[in-house]
Amino acid sequence: MSAELPCKLKASDYKSNTKPVWCPGCGDYHVLLSLTKAVAQIGLRPEEIAVISGIGCSSRIPAYLNCYGFHGVHGRALPLATGVKVARPDLTVICAGGDGDGFSIGGNHLLHACRRNIDITYVVMDNEVYGMTKGQPSPTTAPDWDSKIAPGGTGISPFYPLVIALASGANFVARAFSGDPNGTAKILVDAITHRGFSFVQILSPCVTFRPDQRGWKKQVHPAPVTPTSDASQAARRVMTDDGFNIGVLYKGSRKPYRQTVGTEIRFDRNLDEEFLV
């Protein structure tokens, strides 16, 4: 982040003038709102933010922000973001995408991004469906959810992304709800300012393929406990809660990934010398 004073832009100043392709009513509109509120609150300069995404409805978000962005290929947002952050530690890097992009094709990268504890914030807009490709089950979909590609349901249990993140070493884990933009904004500020890998799962209903998610608004509730610094305790909570606990669940103190490209030359090697016989 810039050493200068926080800049005083309004949340709406962080929006670009590109009109989103999302269906009207998509939860991601409120995620966008939360994100803009969050970065406005921190006072980041738009040009110092890089929003990196993969492919999917949620992954369209970089273009809707007035920041630097990269809409990469499916599932590879985290390595892309890692490269950006290592090359440019001065930037605030926010990685974004959906549950399909992040947990299916991107699942492997989630593990290792958490392990590295790279200082970025990863926002997954979880709607328990592949929206962009018109409604297939995702790794967070219930086993009995009927779809064309898996009539009667996949029969496969969803996994717990928050627990995986905890087990892999994420330094900050939270669950949010898109229908609560202020609450989400607060969690995002916390996530962005917390050093290391911050993972925020935002339940963001899909108005087109998951109309049943209208009910989420009534089901979400603030987590009844304060965030813990004990990863196993946090994992246990997540594995035993109703899936609608909202709030920061875990805050760790692992050192963030150290390797970065800098201007400092550690040692002026004469490379030729080592080959000289």
User: Which of 21, 149, 156, 239 forms a contact with other proteins (CB under 8 A)?
Assistant: 21
Can you tell me the distance from the alpha carbon of 265 to that of 244, in angstroms, rounded to the nearest whole number?
Answer: 49
**259: alpha, beta or left, given left = phi > 0 and alpha = psi -120 to 50?**
beta
Rounded CA-CA distance 127/100 in Å is: 9
Is residue 243 within the footprint of other proteins (CB under 8 A)? no
> 89 or 236, CB closer to other proteins?
89
Q: Which helix (H) or strand (E) holds 78?
A: helix 77-87
Cα–Cα distance between 213 and 264 in angstroms, integer? 51
Residues 96-135 that bind other proteins (CB under 8 A): 108-109, 111-112, 116, 132-135
> In the window 30-59, what residues touch other proteins (CB under 8 A)?
30, 33, 37, 41, 45-48, 50-52, 55-57, 59
Q: How far apart are CA 99 and CA 133, in angstroms?
A: 13
d(CA 150, CA 157): 13
Candidates 86, 150, 167, 223; binder of other proteins (CB under 8 A) is 86
Q: Comparing C-alpha atoms, which of 39, 105, 45, 49 is closest to residue 78?
A: 105
**Looking only at residues 176 through 195 of this chain, which bind other proteins when binding is defined by CB under 8 A?**
178-183, 185-186, 189
Per CB under 8 A, 221 contacts other proteins: no
Shortest CB 233 distance to other proteins, Å: 25
Q: Contact region for other proteins (CB under 8 A) — 73-81, 121-129, 138-146, 154-162?
A: 73-81
Within residues 146-175, the interface with other proteins by CB under 8 A covers none
Query: Which of 99, 231, 213, 76 is closest to 159 using CA atoms?
Result: 99
Question: Of 39, 44, 81, 164, which lies in the binding site for other proteins, with binding defined by CB under 8 A?
Answer: 81
109 vs 194 by CB, closer to other proteins: 109
